[in-house]
Amino acid sequence: MSSSSLHLEPITSARGQITLPGSKSISNRVLLLSALASGTTSLHGLLDADDTRVMQSALTALGVHLENQTRDNESILLVQGCNGQFVNNTADLFMGNAGTAIRPLTAALAILGGDYHLHGVPRMHERPIGDLVDGLKGIGAKIDYLGQTNYPPIQIGSGHLLLDQAVKVRGDVSSQFLTALLMALPLTAHPRDICIEVVGELISKPYIEITLRLMEKFGIKVINNNWQSFVIPAFKHSQSAVYISPGEFWVEGDASSASYFLAAGALGGGPLMIKGVGRESIQGDVAFANALAMMGANVTQGNNWIEVRGVDEAGLQAIDIDCTPIPDAAMTLAVLGLFAKGTTRLTGIASWRVKETDRIAAMECELKKFGATVSSGDNFIEVSPPETWTSPIGGVDTYDDHRMAMCFSLAAFGPVPLEINDPACVSKTFPHYFDELRSVIAVSK
């Protein structure tokens, strides 16, 4: 695979079986919780990709001991917990473009105090963090912006925390701000309950559900008051630690990554089985399977697998759907709009604007290269399929965004060849994506 572009001939069928890499959302959360806990945690099925390597590098710089082991041909990461206080109280931390790493680490380090410099790639310095910082500074944390206000890079110091009033955070920009506060505030070992109040509508609730369920695995049960406020229980001084390692933890497959292969099974006839997520998944993006079924795909699920066997005789149908619960997998639905009869309308996607790139603008631009009719706004995109398919001149641009590259590989189920520029950007979450795709497809000769 060239680092500059990847040529794809039209795909004629897709069938077989895929075992998914570990969930990014779960992997980075559980890495931090394991690091903060008492005891050693053995992590099974952890995602090995750029974003999780960023988190591991940061934890190592903070003095957390990580050890890779192999047992019965399985890779396991042992995380020796630091019992709620990092060994190193000063560090320079490069966070790449990993939102799931910089945001919870910012909160944890601001609560614990020290001397920390957090920075990343240029795009990271364009991704907002101000609402999280405002919430933390509101309780006395010391955080300074080193560049543009409300964006990284930042410098964290030691503040004087006051937790007698509710901690407030906006919920309509990124659920990662609330996740960060939920995971960090127990570290205060506060003798009274701590209340977090959500200002505005909370988006991406399933990602908060992941956070709450993982925190419970590590001994903290948060009270969820209808998504408007959250109560972290008072720390009892009879407790030995805030977070307690569960000993062993198995990371389920990445549901966002599953969407590409589920879509391939619909477009390519199947049967195509995805192993690693299913009915028992704690990830919201597993609901993509239901949206795919609404479009006419034949979908069946087990506890830990989903299988797609093509589409109904009527073919793929356009849908109008609120994608607030599935913001990442919604990108796959947008590309499926190239193939569906009618106009596919996706709403609830305002968070696309502040992801690895402005995904609404990027998606509109690239879909139009195939001849699709596309319109968009701050919180929606509409896609009508091409009357005549065109092969994108200059290739499909991916904007250093892993999900753009993976989504648009599905356009190869159309009648025209295409080039995907910078396919290596998939290393952020799924380094072997194109190898896995090749293993289940056939192409026209």
The residues that are catalytic are 328
Q: CB neighbours (10 Å) of residue 233?
A: 14
Structure tokens at 37: 């806990």
Q: What 3 state SS string does 34-75 have?
A: HHHCECEEEEECCCCCHHHHHHHHHHHHCCCEEEEEEECCEE
The DSSP element (H or E) to which 367 belongs, if any, is helix 359-368
DSSP string, 280-303: T---GGGGHHHHHHHTTEEEEE-S
- The token duo for 211 is 């956070």
CA distance 50 to 248: 23
Structure tokens at 258: 């599953």
Residue 154 CB neighbours (<10 A): 22
Q: Which residues pair with 317 in a beta bridge?
A: 341
- What is the rounded distance in angstroms from the CA atom of residue 197 to the CA atom of residue 169? 6
Alpha-carbon radius of gyration of the chain: 22
Instruction: Determine how β-strand 74-80 pairs with β-strand 40-44.
Output: antiparallel
Contact predicate 349/323, CB 8 Å? yes
Contacts of 355 (CB under 8 A, 6+ apart): 99, 127, 401, 403
Dihedral sign (CA 266, 267, 270, 272): negative
* Amino acid symbol at 184: A
